Amino acid sequence: MKKWIPIASGLLAGFVAATISFADFSPKAKTDTTASTKSNAEKVYVPFGEKDDYYLFASGGHSGQMFIYGVPSMRKIRTIPVFSQDSATGYGFDEHSKKMMGGYTWGDLHHPAFSETNGDYDGKYMFATDVANSRAAVVDLKTFTTKDILKVPNTAGPHCAAFVTENTEYMFLPTRFAVPLGQKYESLDNYSQSFRGVMSAVTFNEKSEKLGIAYQVALPPWSYDLSDAGKKGSADWAVMTTYNTEEATTNQEINASQADRDYIVLFNWKELEKMEKEGKYEDVGGQKMIFPEKQKGGIYLVPVAKSPHGVDVTPDGKYFIASGKLAPSMTVFSFEKAFKAVANKDFAGERNGLPILNYKSVMEREVNPENALGPLHTQFDDKGMAYTTMFISSEIVKWNPKTGETLDRVPVQYSPGHSVSAEGDTVAPDGKWLIALNKIAKDTYLSVGPSHPESMQLIDISGKMQVIQSAPVDPEPHYAQMIKADKIKTINVYPKDKNNKDAVYKKDDTKIVRKGNEVHVYGIAMRSKFIFDAKAKRPDVIEVNEGDHVFIHLTNIDFDEDITHGFAINSYDLNMEVQPGQTNTMEFIANKAGTFPLYCTNFCSALHQEMNGYFLVKPKN
Ligand code: CUK
Ligand code: CUA
């Protein structure tokens, strides 16, 4: 049988080689493209007193965090802790965020996704998922803080998320790893019969600011990779790539790269929603699980070049573009043709009960820029032109999805995974800036030893593509989104919350209350002291008995922008933060007797160093 992509097996070796050896890259390309002229320097220079035009939200990968940069200066502004503890902000130490983290200490955050209205970023929320511990999270962009985290049952590694539908109705979480439903023990010999790749339809309630699960779908036991929601005419649909349709249970590097083709899974979420409403699901561990081999009509397969890694929908919603890491081509598929094939039952058989659409009926064109290797992910500009990252040939290729013509290419250093252009995955990309998110920085920055930071290279795409700036970034920006700065409306201080029974806004209301062995402190932080009980001889001292269950509720009554206080207890491994107007609680058992200084960790005034007190723990006997 003729191989569909004759050079694919050679490429596999190339891909593997490229991931272990970057020594072959010539440094010459770099000198050709790095910022060296004044005009380029001016483009990224944001004078003091002025601000950047865009926010960049980069995923922090296995740091579990999200990194915020300004564009075009590429200055890092903030780290938002999401799935991992962060002592800088007390995240994961205070009671609320500790509970949210659900007992886990870290996460692997891959694809950030802004909330959308009519297919455009609305600047309200940011979503993300955790591949490591199967969770979803939402970040509030009024305060740049994590609002809710949801542990998603029945799933292992929702890598391909988050991607949201046009009006944030759902974010879908398909999984990278197949597991038996409920993740029960099962022999890998029963993989094909008992394992599933589950996709979850996660909802967000803006009023309660809580995430929930509407339903789940038990997909075949394949690995699902990056996905995208439809837009405009295709808004009811979504697409995701698959690999390991071979259902290999060991040595995936070889065994999951056997078949010449894998699939794009094309699904109609309105149909799935209808099935859920009509009760066409089974209860699996308390979740509504739809089995597509029994409930037909919502999900279809489209054959695609082997082991695709990315699929992206064009801004007009008419096409979806799949890129194969082991195939040299970008394949453009037409939604309209797919809908026709669905209506005419133009099928080329079935797999696992899912109909396969005829490749020729849905495919629009295969695009193979000369010597461009390892296409991964695609972004767009305001004219609908596509920018695809080439992992192996280390470059960005600009091309026209309507003709397949290659328009421009620029080398990057090195091995870009994703790239991101300004609002480049919305219905209305801005056509400004593209940032290559490179896996390997190698010789770009001052050396810090054997392992280097990742690298984000800013590319001006207003004319011929030109790399003009680069910024190091901690591991690991798998994806990022760039939003116009004026779309984000932050608050300056937390407003008083009369319904919060833990909050205290006046000195005279501070108190320490004992109920059995529970001690509740209702205190305030202000420049430059703590007051836990205004009536006490020493208002800045907390005294408890060894073994007491202690709750310290602390309100920052400095209603003044950027006057943040911290609260740490020496040798108790505890720290939290109260931002202006905010109330936070620290909960712990006083299991060590002794004298422990407490202090403000966040520099807040000239007398910050005096902002301290004592935590005294009387021994049991
Ligand atoms: S993935 Cu493709 S390069 Cu997690 Cu989007 Cu990293
Ligand atoms: Cu409060 Cu330093």
Residues 36-69 have pLDDT tens digits of: 455 888 999 999 999 999 999 999 999 999 999 9
- The residue whose CA is least distant from atom 5 of ligand 1 is 478
Closest CA to 578 of 615, 616, 523, 513: 523
Q: Is the CB of 280 within 6 Å of ligand 2?
A: no
Ligand 1 environment, Cβ below 6 A:
110-111, 159, 226, 309, 376-377, 417-418, 478-479
- Tell me if residue 359 falls in helix, strand or coil: helix
Q: Of 2.60.40.420, 3.40.630.10, 1.10.3720.10, 3.40.50.720, which CATH number belongs to 507-618?
A: 2.60.40.420
Are 414 and 440 in contact by the 8 Å Cβ rule? The answer is: yes
Of the pLDDT bands very low, low, confident and very high (cuts 50, 70, 90), residue 255 is: confident
What is the predicted pLDDT for the residue at 38? Answer: 59
Of the pLDDT bands very low, low, confident and very high (cuts 50, 70, 90), residue 601 is: very high
Are 590 and 550 in contact by the 8 Å Cβ rule? The answer is: yes
Closest CA to 565 of 589, 614, 615, 531: 531
Q: Is the CB of 611 within 6 Å of ligand 2?
A: yes
d(CA 264, CA 335): 12
Q: What is the mean pLDDT of residues 218-225?
A: 95
Of the pLDDT bands very low, low, confident and very high (cuts 50, 70, 90), residue 258 is: confident
Segment among 41-50, 269-278, 425-434 with least mean pLDDT? 41-50
Of the pLDDT bands very low, low, confident and very high (cuts 50, 70, 90), residue 254 is: confident
- Tell me if residue 52 falls in helix, strand or coil: coil
Of the pLDDT bands very low, low, confident and very high (cuts 50, 70, 90), residue 260 is: confident
Average pLDDT along the chain: 92
Please measure the distance between the N-terminal and C-terminal CA atoms of the chain and give it in whole angstroms. Answer: 83
Q: What is the CA radius of gyration of the chain?
A: 26
Q: What is the mean pLDDT of residues 389-405?
A: 97
What is the predicted pLDDT for the residue at 327? Answer: 78
Q: Which spans in 434-568 are helix H?
A: none
| Percent over 70 (pLDDT), the chain | 94
Of the pLDDT bands very low, low, confident and very high (cuts 50, 70, 90), residue 610 is: very high
Q: Is the CB of 608 within 6 Å of ligand 2?
A: yes
Angstrom distances, CA of residue 166 to CA of 5, 155, 387, 615: 35, 24, 22, 52
- β-strands 287-290, 210-219 pairing: parallel
DSSP character for 498? T
- Tell me if residue 287 falls in helix, strand or coil: strand
Q: Beta partners for 289?
A: 216, 282
Q: How many CB atoms are located within 10 Å of the residue 574 CB?
A: 21
Closest CA to 532 of 558, 551, 560: 551
Q: How many CB atoms are located within 10 Å of the residue 170 CB?
A: 21
The predicted-structure confidence for 461-507, as pLDDT tens digits, reads as follows 999 999 999 999 998 889 999 999 999 999 999 999 999 999 999 99
How many Cα atoms within 13 Å fall on the side-chain side of residue 518?
5
The CA 309 to ligand 1 mean position distance, Å, reads 8
Are 133 and 83 in contact by the 8 Å Cβ rule? The answer is: yes
Sheet of 416-421: strands edge to edge? 416-421, 434-438, 454-460, 466-473
Are 593 and 609 in contact by the 8 Å Cβ rule? The answer is: no
What is the predicted pLDDT for the residue at 328? Answer: 82
Closest CA to 240 of 163, 125, 334, 183: 163
What tokens does 220 get? 């075949």
- β-strands 583-589, 434-438 pairing: unpaired
Q: Is the CB of 600 within 6 Å of ligand 2?
A: yes
Please enumerate in sequence order all residues whose Cβ is within 8 A of that of 63, keeping only pairs 6 or more positions apart, or say none: 84, 109, 474, 475, 476
Q: Is the CB of 445 within 6 Å of ligand 2?
A: no
Query: Per DSSP, which regions of 400-478 are E strands?
Result: 406-411, 416-421, 434-438, 454-460, 466-473
Q: Is the pLDDT of residue 13 over 50?
A: no
What is the predicted pLDDT for the residue at 37? Answer: 55
Are 205 and 195 in contact by the 8 Å Cβ rule? The answer is: no
What is the predicted pLDDT for the residue at 550? Answer: 98
Q: What is the mean pLDDT of residues 402-431?
A: 97
Q: Which DSSP string corresponds to 403-417? A: T--EEEEEE-SS-EE
Q: Of 3.10.129.10, 2.130.10.10, 3.40.50.720, 3.30.1020.10, which CATH number belongs to 19-487?
A: 2.130.10.10
d(CA 70, CA 54): 6
Q: Would you list the domain boundaries of the chain?
A: 19-487, 507-618
Q: Is the CB of 558 within 6 Å of ligand 2?
A: no
Q: Is the pLDDT of residue 134 over 70?
A: yes
527 CA: nearest ligand 2 atom: 1
Closest CA to 98 of 465, 588, 461: 588
d(CA 518, CA 530): 21
How many Cα atoms within 13 Å fall on the side-chain side of residue 569?
26
Is 507-618 the same fold as 19-487? Answer: no
Q: Is the CB of 171 within 6 Å of ligand 2?
A: no
The predicted-structure confidence for 560-595, as pLDDT tens digits, reads as follows 999 999 999 999 999 999 999 999 999 999 999 999
Please enumerate in sequence order all residues whose Cβ is within 8 A of that of 155, keeping only pairs 6 or more positions apart, or say none: 134, 173, 175, 179, 198, 200, 216
604 CA: nearest ligand 2 atom: 2
* Higher pLDDT among residues 1 and 85, named by residue: 85
d(CA 483, CA 591): 47
528 CA: nearest ligand 2 atom: 1
H helices then E strands: how many in the chain? Answer: 9, 43
On the 0-12 / 13-18 / 19+ scale of CB atoms within 10 A, 256 is buried
Q: Which DSSP string corresponds to 57-112? A: EEE-BTT-EEEEEEETTTEEEEEEESSS-BTTTTBTTSHHHHHHHTT-----B---
Q: What is the mean pLDDT of residues 223-233?
A: 94
d(CA 434, CA 204): 30
d(CA 283, CA 213): 13
d(CA 293, CA 275): 13
479 CA: nearest ligand 1 atom: 5
Are 198 and 219 in contact by the 8 Å Cβ rule? The answer is: yes
Between CA 171 and CA 179, with CA 177 as vertex, the angle to 5 degrees is 105
The CA 417 to ligand 1 mean position distance, Å, reads 6
Q: Is the CB of 318 within 6 Å of ligand 2?
A: no
